[in-house]
Every structure is written in C-alpha cells, then in structure tokens.
Amino acid sequence: MPLVAGVDTSTQSCKIVVRDAATGELVRSGSAKHPDGTEIHPDHWWSAFTQAADAAGGLADVAAIAVGGQQHGMVALDAEGRVIRDALLWNDTRSAGAAEALISELGDGDRAVGSQRWADAVGSVLVASLTVTKLRWLRDAEPENAARVAAVALPHDWLSWRIAGYGPAGDPSAPLGPDLNALFTDRSDASGTGYYDAQGANGAGEYRPDLLRMALGRDDVVLPRVLGPAESGGVAHPSVAGVDVDGGALIGPGAGDNAGAALGVGMTPGDVAISIGTSGVVSAVAPRRTADGSGAINGFADAAGNALMLAVTLNAARVLDAAREVLGVDVDELAALALRAPAGSDGLVLVPYLEGERTPNRPDATGTLHGIRLATSTRPHLARAYVEGMLCGLADGLDALRAQGVPVERVMLIGGAAQSPAVQEIAPQVFGLPIAVPEPGEYVADGAARQAAWVLAAAGAAGATPTTADAGAPSALAPPDWSATISATLPADPRPEIREQYAKVRDLA
C-alpha cells in the first residue's frame, strides 16, 4: 500500500510521521528541534524539516505529504521570495497595541462595536497572536520592511511552498525559484489571519482585502490560494519527497496546528478537545462558527469543512515547567507532590498569567499567587496550586464555548501534559465531566498524514495521477477512518471549590 507523510512544524520542533495510507499504521518517524524565541527566521524550519526527514528514513517513497503548523505567524516575503525579516510567531505579543488600534478603527472609535465587527467579519476579536495585527505592527514599526512586502504567508504555507521546490531566488535548495503565486494554504490556517472570512462567499470562504489594507496600508500583496480539505496544492519536488513514486508525491493543503490535531484524533461536531501543550487550547468542532464579540472564543475553520471554535491560553504546559523549576523536581515528582495536597490546595490559588495572556486578553498581565499562609506554604500545596491554576484557565474556556451555544458531547484531553497523573486526576475535578484520554501521539503530524491520505484517495477517485490531479475541486470523499484509540476514560469527580476560589481572585489587579 502507498505511504503518506504528515509534518508538524510547531513552535518547538518539526516532527514527521510516515504512515500506511490505508490503515494509518505508523511506519517510521523523525524529529528535529527549532530554536527558542517568539521570532525566528523560517530557514530554521526548513533545516529542521530536512533533518527530521532524514531521521524518518527519508521521504522518497511517500505518495503524498501534508504540513500542519503553528498558526498566525507572519512570514513576509519580497518579490524575490526572500524572507524580509524574522517571522513573528503566534506568541509574540509586541503587536498588542496594533490589535487595539485595529479594533478601535473598525468600530469608529468604539471598542465594543469594533470587537463585534471583527468577530462578525472573521470570527475573532483581534489579539496580538493574529497575523493581521503583526502586519499593522510591521507597517508602523518597520515601514521600510513593510514597503518591501510582496507576499504574506503562514508558517505551514511557507514550508509547503519549499517542499514543492520554490523559495528565494538563487537558493540551490529552491530549484523552481520564487514563484509567489505558487503559495497555497487551507481554510483552517487562513481563518486565523484576521483577513480571511471562512464563511464568506456563501460558505466558500474569501479573503478580506479591506481588512488587509487596514493593517498593512495596501492590499497589493500575494496571499496564498486557499484550498479545500482534500485538494492538492501541487507535487513535491523530487529532491524532497516522492522520487520513488510514479508521478511524485502530492502535497495536501495542510492545516493550522489545532485543526490538524482535531483531524488527527478524529473530532466531529460535538467533540471538545482540551490540549495542554505550549499553549492551552479548548477546541470544539461545530457546523458553523460563532461570532463572539467578547473575544473569549475564536471562530476558525477546521480541516474537514466544519468550524473549529477555540479558546486559547498562552499559559499551559509551561506553567508546570515553572512549577518544576521553583520546586526543583522532575515531571513525576511534581505530579506526586500535587497529589499529596487536597483539592483546592487549602485556598492557595495561582492565577497563571506567567507570560501575559491571550484568553482573557491581558498581554501585559503577570501571574499572582493568593492565599499564602503558613499552612499552605508547603511544596505539595504549591505544586497543586500550579496544576489547578492551569486547568482553571482552560475550564473558563470550556464555559465560554457553552455560553456561545457550542454543543459539548464528548471531552478529550490531549497534549504532552495530559499524560501527567496529577493532570489526569485533577482535570475531572476541575471540569466536572468524564474525560477521554486518547493514546499518546503526534496528533498534528498524524492529522496532516490523514489529510495526505485523503488527498491521495481523492486523486485516485477522480481517476487522476499525482501529476494531473485537479486542485480546483474539493473531494466529496470522507477522510480515511484513522480515529485515535482512547486509552482511558476518567470519571467525573466535580470539586466546585477549586473553581469557586479561582473565580474570586482571577480578576484582581
């Protein structure tokens, strides 16, 4: 059977899985690290991708490949396909002021009106994460660089373009040169830019050049064409992938990381995933997005033709990292300490805004610790307060989804920190719901691989070879059935005192 590859170009690393296209069985995998920081030159992504591909045994035998990637980052290219400045990542908050300015402008000076107009237009109230705010920052802070912008891409768009053989003029690793019109993306990642309406054009989706113009001051730049869920964006250059496959390797449209993970674990309408990674994400698949003018919920598209509603926190697994640093313990020791303290940690409460916060939108906030007494000044109390504070922030996101009428039928706990015994025991107490825990996996890369298999099947159903597949029409085929195996179901164990005491101090100055 043919093989497919899924790529996760995340904030921290590049991970590649190679899977059987029919069964989803893992054949091999590889990974490579990205540098730390909130801005990075995209060449590091390309270098990590090639290292990860080598670690995975090469991609010569794959028939299709797709890329899932961190959302929102700004990759600004000049007319020669060169990166103008380091890409600003989703977690770079320097454009917080630009977000506020754009909200005010669309609302004719009234923030509340502007917030609702942005939510109506693109599904989200602007925060510093979204690409449109970074373009406004570029216009104001680096006007010479802004004037050079010929195309704007997202991280996964740029890497897909490079896999196809395109890139900066004169670069030997980009044999097809700087064809900016060859850039492509998908609805999920485009819907997080702030200048794409996934429900526009009667549901087909469309860019909003007026909003792009508000940010950058002009709209004469190339934006990646937006593909449907099973459309091919082209064929991988044989030097990168598919050289041993007749016709080469199709490239899928890719996806934003949250949409990729949703596809990887098989989410459908009614499913909610609580992901604890670099960021914390409460995501729900729904038939249509909402337009939450409060900004608590972002209305994006998913990778399968539905809406993906997100509440995102900047502070998730790194809250636990901070706790380990403070206490001088490893992951297992932190969990053991936290489980020695009672629910609610006897009133010790951490509000975990350690790096500012996105939901709620408080980019300049700091963390606060409340209820410090002699009785709570113990290592177990502190460990549990960190775990509970992180989970309470995510529980607020789940409440916000419900308030918008988003159906919640099944809750899944995913991400690296989901494997912590303390997180698994405390989460049902904080959320008050039964929780399913899928088998550990590289969910974003798995979702990208599932998409690649979908693209391959769609091309086959259309009677096309990879070199003649029509990228212009979405497939009516459903994605292959690669649903993740549930390793555990955690029974509900509501402890309302945890969230009650958190709510009392959450909004204190």
User: What is the model's pLDDT at position 223?
Assistant: 98
When pLDDT is averaged across residues 90-118 and rounded to a whole number, the result is 96
- Residues serving a catalytic function are 257
Instruction: Note the pLDDT tens digit of each residue in 372-387.
Output: 999 999 999 999 999 9
The Cα 415–Cα 442 span in angstroms is 9
Q: pLDDT category, 363, cuts 50, 70, 90? A: confident
| Mean pLDDT across the chain | 93
Strands 410-414 and 271-276: parallel
Strands 62-69 and 3-9: parallel
Decide which of 190 and 474 is more confident.
Answer: 190
Q: Which residues of 198-230 are buried (b: 16+ CB within 10 A; e: fewer)?
A: bbeeeeebebbeebbebbbeebebbbbbbbbbb
User: What is the model's pLDDT at position 427?
Assistant: 97
Identity of the residue numbered 44: H
For residue 209, what are the CA distances in angstroms to 147, 182, 449?
Answer: 17, 19, 32
Residues 6+ apart with CB under 8 A from 136: 95, 98, 99, 101, 102, 214, 215, 216
Rg from Cα positions in the chain: 22
Burial (0-12, 13-18, 19+ Cβ within 10 Å), 28: middle
Q: pLDDT category, 270, cuts 50, 70, 90? A: confident
Cβ–Cβ < 8 Å for 187, 301:
yes
Q: What are phi and psi of 430, to 5 degrees?
A: -75, -45
The Cα 488–Cα 435 span in angstroms is 8
Centroid of chain to Cα 103:
23
DSSP summary character for residue 492: P
- Residue 66: other Cβ atoms inside 10 A: 34
- Percentage of the residues of the chain whose pLDDT score is greater than 70: 96
Q: pLDDT category, 463, cuts 50, 70, 90? A: low
Decide which of 253 and 464 is more confident.
Answer: 253
The dihedral formed by the CA atoms of 354, 313, 85 and 301, expressed in degrees to the nearest 10: 180
Given a cut of 50, whether residue 466 has pLDDT beyond it is: no
Q: pLDDT category, 279, cuts 50, 70, 90? A: confident
The Cα 319–Cα 53 span in angstroms is 31
For residue 60, what are the CA distances in angstroms to 5, 18, 68, 232, 287?
Answer: 10, 11, 20, 18, 38
User: What is the model's pLDDT at position 274?
Assistant: 95
Instruction: Note the pLDDT tens digit of each residue in 291-307.
Output: 999 988 999 999 999 99
| Interaxial angle between packed helices 96-106 and 209-216, expressed in degrees from 0 to 180 and rounded to the nearest 10 | 130
Given a cut of 80, whether residue 489 has pLDDT beyond it is: yes
Give binding residues as ranges: 71-72
Strands 39-40 and 486-490: unpaired
User: What is the model's pLDDT at position 106?
Assistant: 98
User: What is the model's pLDDT at position 477?
Assistant: 80
Q: pLDDT category, 473, cuts 50, 70, 90? A: very low
Instruction: Note the pLDDT tens digit of each residue in 154-205.
Output: 999 999 999 999 999 999 999 999 999 999 999 999 999 999 999 999 989 9
Given a cut of 90, whether residue 410 has pLDDT beyond it is: no
Residue position matching structure tokens 């497919």: 4
- The CA-CA-CA angle for residues 229, 232, 235, to 5°, reads 150
Given a cut of 50, whether residue 474 has pLDDT beyond it is: no
Give binding residues for substrate as ranges: 71-72
The dihedral formed by the CA atoms of 298, 404, 483 and 261, expressed in degrees to the nearest 10: 10
Enter the pTM of the model.
0.87
Given a cut of 50, whether residue 469 has pLDDT beyond it is: no
Which alpha helices (DSSP H) does 234-378 contain, by range? Answer: 257-264, 317-327, 331-338
When pLDDT is averaged across residues 431-448 and rounded to a whole number, the result is 92
The Cα 310–Cα 313 span in angstroms is 10
Given a cut of 80, whether residue 353 has pLDDT beyond it is: yes
User: What is the model's pLDDT at position 349?
Assistant: 98
